[in-house]
A and B are shown apart, each in its own frame.
Chain A
Amino acid sequence: MQQEVVLALLAKEPSHGYELRARIERGLGPLAAGFNAGQMYVTLGRLEQAGMVTSTREASVERPERRTYELTAAGRERVEEWLTDVTWPRPDLTNFHLKLVVAAAGRLADPVEVIASQRRELVRRLREAQRAALAEPDGSDASLLLEGVVLRIGADLTWLDACERSWGAAR
């Protein structure tokens, strides 16, 4: 989970640690199974060091969930920046391509075979994701996310088809 998500959760008003945790768990819904509260407090600590968040202790209790966290002006700025940010993870196909190149050059393996095995794995993953998607209720967040996963694996598979055509013809 990104730092900025936690920052944004504090944008409306300051809140206690346990409140923050509850909000996150609610928002994730069924995906909350993988959520680790400890990591959240570590993140909050880092944010405090970076000057984006301030925290105040409650009386004499020294437990992170009882602390009150609040955004600073810098923190607010950061949230606004983040909301309009359009960075997107880049697809990274170069490694696989290099694998094929060195396999062919060194006669270590048949590139077409390599592609075929990769394909089978991706198909397996696609199948998993699609089945999981169909198991979720229509229109739920989970099904939407899984649709995204499915589509991206599908795109990769299409690219692998193109690779196969290209490498197969080069033989």
Chain B
Amino acid sequence: MRKHVLIIARGIIVCCLLLAMFSACTPQSSGNTDPLHDPGTQSAEKTEILLWTNQRADLVFREEKRAAFNNANPDLNVKMEVFTEDYATTLELAVASGQAPDIFQVLNNARYYLDRNMLQPLDKYVTDDLKQRYGNLFMIDEVNTIDGKLYTLAERGITFRLIYNKDIFEAVGLPGPPKTTEQMYDYAKQITEWGRKDGIYGYAMQLKSTASVGDRVIDQTARRNGFFSYDFINGKFNFSVMKPILSVYRKMYEEGIMFPGIEGLEIDPLRTQFAAGKIGMYINGNWETAIYAENGQFPTKCNWGAVTIPGIGTENPSGKTNINNAGKSWGISISSEVPDLAWRYIEYLLEDDYLAEYQEKGYGTIVVPSAAKIAKFPDMIGAEDFAMKDTLDMIWPVSPETAGLKFEGKNAYDTYAAIILGAVDIDAALADLTSRYNAGLNAGEKDGTVKRVVIPNFDPTK
């Protein structure tokens, strides 16, 4: 009899433990960010709105403004979550499991989200005032609009420049920042020879994220020189045009001019080293203004500046780099239960004052015409340099590989990385890329999943 009691007692203890664990495992409110809390539940006082972003660079500013908004709107409680690593997969998993946030940062072109049924159209919130403020940046087809339905709005644009350390250039005795890729190679070589014993190198790139380098460095250099891997005039891919750019970097890597370990280097470690004065040059976007400032992520004492991306074979390239993210900002997820309230916060995020302050604190360049008119440029290093100029920046049309293209094998960015690292033969790899991407384009066009973009008189030099 006693044994039975013991058995039952033990069983109960185990069950209790299990139950405790089960309840511990299921959603709990703890801490100040709580992704498990059902978005949009009407609790007694506040309605919750959950926002996801992948940007860390402007986090401090956005947090401040979020708190201000919450204070001014006691009936709402906006929460913010940051996912820098694996943002895309995290978002996809969240949507698949019905846990998508209310608002999230829109990074890809609209078709991507439409295919996955992730966004709600915003047309019902559009007012005439809004349309006027935005002017011709209001609806950009394929970027934030598909079939006449609007999914997100323009906010800021990321301009890209060549960033260089003025102190190092002076110490080495270089005449100034490079204007051509040959000069870039040459200057980098001199800097590395001069500074190697102190751990200073001429050029660095965050090759661990091949997509980051491929898009920001390689593609932008191409655009600045008036061409791109997708031929808009004829509507097909041609990657062999990228050869001159890739050759320069490949040579740099081969000859040991590059910062050691670029294959494992991410952008933040790169910035750390730049801030510590160990890197001569690199190419990146206008986040750096805020990042290297005194209260930024990596404050630096170095004198740095930014100039336009070098030309290939000419000191005055005539193309224009793309303004990244232009035309996209925030979207309301299709599963949000409080879209109207979510819109209220998005409106707040896109107010002229908010945007102007964003720019004046050096976090980025605003493209919304009404805000750009009143926003000043802060007196921070880099702000002027990164400012949008008609002669240097434009919004390129959408090319198929960012609008749902499916292809076989390694993607272009991984291939670029392989080329730079000397793992594959340049011509063979680029030719292979061209044929694979075009095959995917043809197949996609046939079953209607991809649009072949053709702009017969496209001229990126105008």
Tell me if chain B binds chain A. Answer: no
